[in-house]
Structure 1
């Protein structure tokens, strides 16, 4: 019974984080090809707070909500067409990013330095997935895809990775201290 309750509680946290991701996705700074959004910050928070399994679940729920048409993606967009369009690679990359970011933290420690490294790696993974799909979906050259879909996001991506790490580790520590997260899920900070 105890394990079932913990899985239910963690699943509810994942659903909550999916909702937070939908909210942060609405924070946008428009750019010509791909906007800067709060989504990547939210993805880092999901993985840093919940780890690989439930962080990935949170992001997959977010992507599924958008895929079925709920207006949760950037600029209140939704629908499967977004996933196969020019910016869909970033959204698909979020799932891989959340998993690997959480896994790296589980294999090291949930503390600030490993969190920053893991979140930067996650950001790079998202940018790679995004650039590949941007190139093919928009019919761009590699130089155009990198210039419009990677380079403008490197500095702000590092800033969001650091912010996700600081906030995520702080929130995680507080949830652990309040006994709201299971300690056995991952190494504690």
Structure 2
């Protein structure tokens, strides 16, 4: 495959995973202040399947689309005000989450155990970013920010980390077998 086709494939794949994040963002369970959404599942899937660099690029694309006003965030919302509002920290966290989750897998092995560890670390990164922004935007104490923005999401976050690991590894394996996934990183 020549350089141009390879670059185009990477752009398309990053766009697909940004779109997947937008779609899963619409699966929400409303709770006060911060809803539970499918976004974090999408971030874990993205990082597990396409790795650190391209996973982070996909999340940057997702955040930029939303910032531009495209209704890709939870509840079909868009606009820079979402990124600057109480829940924006989670979206900013998605970028580092995708990078770190993918990097852990690239530096270790693509096994269910390592994927679960990587996705759990990623979940914690997202929750920390979210809690920090909650604290400052809503003028919360640290206890309020953690109580509102971290604790309610631990159990569901672990479930999503498992699903992202299990499904991500299965999809990644199939895409590699079909030669549909560029070799961004070492093979499983």
TM-score of the superposed pair, with normalisation by structure 1: 0.96
Contact 1:44 1:165 in 2 (8 A): yes
Give the corresponding residue for 1:53.
53
Say whether residues 1:165 and 2:149 are aligned partners. no
Gaps of 5+ in 2: none
Give the corresponding residue for 2:186.
187
CA positional deviation for 1:90: 0.4
In the TM superposition, what whole-angstrom CA distance separates every residue of 1:56-93 from its partner, at most 9, and x where no partner exists? 11111111000000110000111001111111000000
Where 1:147 maps in the other structure, the secondary structure is: helix
Where 1:187 maps in the other structure, the secondary structure is: coil
- Length, aligned pairs only: 188
In the TM superposition, what whole-angstrom CA distance separates every residue of 1:10-42 from its partner, at most 9, and x where no partner exists? 220110111111000000001111000000000
Gaps of 5+ in 1: none
Where 2:126 maps in the other structure, the secondary structure is: helix
Give the corresponding residue for 2:129.
129
CA–CA distance in 1 between the matches of 2:10 and 2:109? 19
CA–CA distance in 2 between the matches of 1:5 and 1:52? 21
Contact 1:110 1:187 in 2 (8 A): no
Q: How does 1:60-71 map to 2 (within 5 A)?
A: 60-71=60-71
Say whether residues 1:28 and 2:28 are aligned partners. yes
Between 71-80 and 174-183, report the one with greater CA deviation. Answer: 174-183
Give the corresponding residue for 1:100.
100
CA–CA distance in 1 between the matches of 2:141 and 2:57? 34
In the TM superposition, what whole-angstrom CA distance separates every residue of 1:33-54 from its partner, at most 9, and x where no partner exists? 1000000000001111100111
Give the corresponding residue for 2:142.
142
CA–CA distance in 2 between the matches of 1:171 and 1:28? 24
CA–CA distance in 2 between the matches of 1:48 and 1:7? 20
Contact 1:44 1:164 in 2 (8 A): yes
CA–CA distance in 1 between the matches of 2:18 and 2:2? 24
CA positional deviation for 1:180: 1.0
Say whether residues 1:11 and 2:11 are aligned partners. yes
Give the corresponding residue for 1:110.
110
Q: Which runs of 4+ in 1 moved over 2 A?
A: none
CA–CA distance in 1 between the matches of 2:42 and 2:170? 15
CA–CA distance in 1 between the matches of 2:33 and 2:164? 24
